[in-house]
Amino acid sequence: MSAEACRISLEAFEGPLDLLLYLIRREELDIREVSVARVADQYLEYVRQAEELDLDVASEYLVMAATLAGIKSRALLPGRGDLQEEQESSAEELLRQLELYKAFREVAEELRDSEATWRNAFPAPGERERWSAESPVRLAGQYTIVDLLEALEELSAEAAPESSETLERPRLTIASCISSISTSLAPGGWVPLGQIVGAGSSRLRLVGFFVAILELVRRGWVSFSQKSPFGELRLRRTGRWSEECSTG
Amino acid sequence: MLDRLTRSIEALLFASDRPLSLQDLCELTGCGPDAAAGALEQLREAFEEIGSSIILAELAGGWRFVTDPSLGDVVSQLFEDRRPGKLSRASIETLAVIAYNQPCTKAAVEAIRGVDCDSAVRSLLERGLVRICGRQETAGRPLTYATTDQFLSSFGLLDLEHLPRRREIDEILASGPPAEESGELFPHEG
């Protein structure tokens, strides 16, 4: 089989049985005359090619591939009566399945034809409601689980908006932190950072004060000391703060 | 001019929002089945004679007027945005299996088609062509499906006996059940 012939995507088939029927038909054989081994080879080639093309091969195709490979390999083993029997019965079952599917595919085709005709026969007048924008009124017994699911879907789609509260983010500017530091950091002594910020402060407040202190240190208005890594930060107001503040 | 009985039946069929069976027509007009059948035949001939686009059809267990399918392209314009599209091949195959096997489980359909039928069954349910009709009393109590009257009228069928090749398919089905995987969990020995 040429690679080109395999290029037909598995998408074109309604599953493994459909593909098998296609392969059999291409050989112009009746289902009962088919050499399972031969068709199995072609089938496996198809699936292999599909996989190579990086297509997502549905699991049912792989299950069928395994079945075919099993039938074929048992057929190749000579002798063993029990294996022979097993092979025949699984090949037989597969052929039956194919015949059954083929029959349904054919009547499906006939049904499709009659639907194509009758879908263009418009009844008068009641059934028109079927396609009306407004659903027809139905009696209690005429509802199905599908209606329930649809209703549930509609409900959840139009569910009342979740009650919400508007939370105001506390506004904390660096300037306000600096002015707060200026009141708690009296000239002269060393004051621990924790005392300035206040115990149990929010993370936002801590960050705000820390940035404010970095700014003050950059300006040279505050000096700091830390005895050990991660130790307590102690701050002291420098002379420059008062000088520049009063002049600026 | 048509006789009173024929005209009554014509009026009933024209106004009814459901197909009317022969029995319905007898009850509504107070006539016997033979007279009703005769009137129906007369009515059908009358429409045919004038080459009307209205056809008297027996669908889903009853009589009704439908428009001639050959005028579908004209009439369908009225329902253009409301009419569902054509059924996919997967859906129509699934529908066929359910139609001949009903009531039947999704697993039984899958055993015959060899592929997952989830979305096909769902779309058939949505279109009202099949309905859930119960549960099978086997492991997992799977839902069973059956076709609806809408299926019959959409496919121009009088009843399920008139499915194409009904006898033949029944024989194939009878010659051995499809290898359904959802059988009994603990089948009886022997």
What per-residue confidence (pLDDT) applies to B23? 93
**Tens digits of residue pLDDT in B35-65:** 999 999 999 999 999 999 999 988 888 898 9
What per-residue confidence (pLDDT) applies to A179? 84
What per-residue confidence (pLDDT) applies to A244? 74
Q: In percent, how much of chain A has pLDDT > 70?
A: 78
Q: How many domains does chain A have?
A: 2
Place of tokens 């139009």: A158
State whether A122 and B128 contact (CB < 8 Å).
no
Work out the pLDDT band at A56, boundaries 50, 70, 90: low
Q: Cβ contacts (< 8 Å) between B66 and chain A: which residues?
A: 121-124
State whether B172 and A127 contact (CB < 8 Å).
no
Q: How many domains does chain B have?
A: 2
Cα separation of A68 and A9, whole Å? 20
Phi, psi at residue B19, to the nearest 5°? -65, 145
Torsion of CA B110, B115, B116, B120, to 10 degrees: -80
Domain match, A29 and A102 both: yes
Phi, psi at residue A231, to the nearest 5°? -75, 180
Q: Give the domain CATH number at B163.
A: 1.10.10.10
Residue in A114, A126, A146 nearest the CB of B156 = A114
Q: In what order do the strands lie in the sheet with A222-226?
A: A191-192, A233-237, A222-226
Name A237's bridge partners.
Answer: A222
State whether A126 and B72 contact (CB < 8 Å).
no
Chain A contact present for B174, CB below 8 A? no
Domain match, A179 and A114 both: no
State whether B67 and A107 contact (CB < 8 Å).
no
The three-class DSSP label of residue A237 is strand
Let me know if residue B149 belongs to a domain.
Answer: yes
Domain match, B96 and B169 both: yes
State whether A121 and B163 contact (CB < 8 Å).
no
Residues spanned by the domain of B25: 4-76
Q: How far apart are the CA of B120 and the nearest CA of chain A, in angstroms?
A: 12
Cα separation of B20 and B18, whole Å? 6
What per-residue confidence (pLDDT) applies to B177? 55
Which residues between 123 and 142 in chain B have a beta carbon less than 8 angstroms from any beta carbon of chain A?
125-126, 128, 131-132
Burial of B171-190, coded b for 16+ CB within 10 Å and e otherwise, reads ebbeeeebebebeeeeeeee
Let me know if residue B187 belongs to a domain.
Answer: no
Let me know if residue B116 belongs to a domain.
Answer: yes
Most confident of the following: A18-27, A146-155, B73-82, B142-151: B142-151
Residue A208, C-beta contacts closer than 8 angstroms, at least 6 positions apart: A172, A173, A174, A177
**Tens digits of residue pLDDT in B98-138:** 999 989 999 999 988 988 888 899 999 988 899 998 888 88
Query: Which candidate in B63, B154, B159, B173 is best for mutational testing of the A interface (most A CBs within 10 A)?
Result: B154
Work out the pLDDT band at B97, boundaries 50, 70, 90: very high
Q: Give the domain CATH number at A216.
A: 1.10.10.580
Q: Count of CB contacts below 8 A, A vs B? A: 151
Residue A188, C-beta contacts closer than 8 angstroms, at least 6 positions apart: A236, A237
Cα separation of B69 and B53, whole Å? 9
Let me know if residue A156 belongs to a domain.
Answer: no
Considering chain B, what is the average pLDDT of its residues?
A: 86
Domain match, B70 and B107 both: no
pLDDT reading at A64 higher than 90 = no
Cis peptide bond upstream of A125, omega within 30: yes
Residues spanned by the domain of A242: 174-247
Domain match, B110 and B72 both: no
Helices A81-118 and B166-174, axial angle in degrees (round to 10): 160
Q: Which of A171, A178, A225 is nearest to A197 (CA)?
A: A178
Let me know if residue A138 belongs to a domain.
Answer: no
Cα separation of A185 and A216, whole Å? 12
Let me know if residue A153 belongs to a domain.
Answer: no
Q: Which of B84, B79, B71, B160 is nearest to A111 (CA)?
A: B160
Let me know if residue A144 belongs to a domain.
Answer: no
* Mean pLDDT on A8-19: 78
ipTM (interface pTM): 0.77
- Provide the strand spans (E) within chain A: 191-192, 222-226, 233-237
**Tens digits of residue pLDDT in A193-209:** 888 887 777 888 888 88
Query: Which candidate in B148, B149, B155 is best for mutational testing of the A interface (most A CBs within 10 A)?
Result: B155
Answer yes or no: are the C-beta atoms of B178 and B112 closer than 8 Å: yes
Q: Cβ contacts (< 8 Å) between A146 and chain B: which residues?
A: 125-126, 132
Cα separation of A236 and A207, whole Å? 19
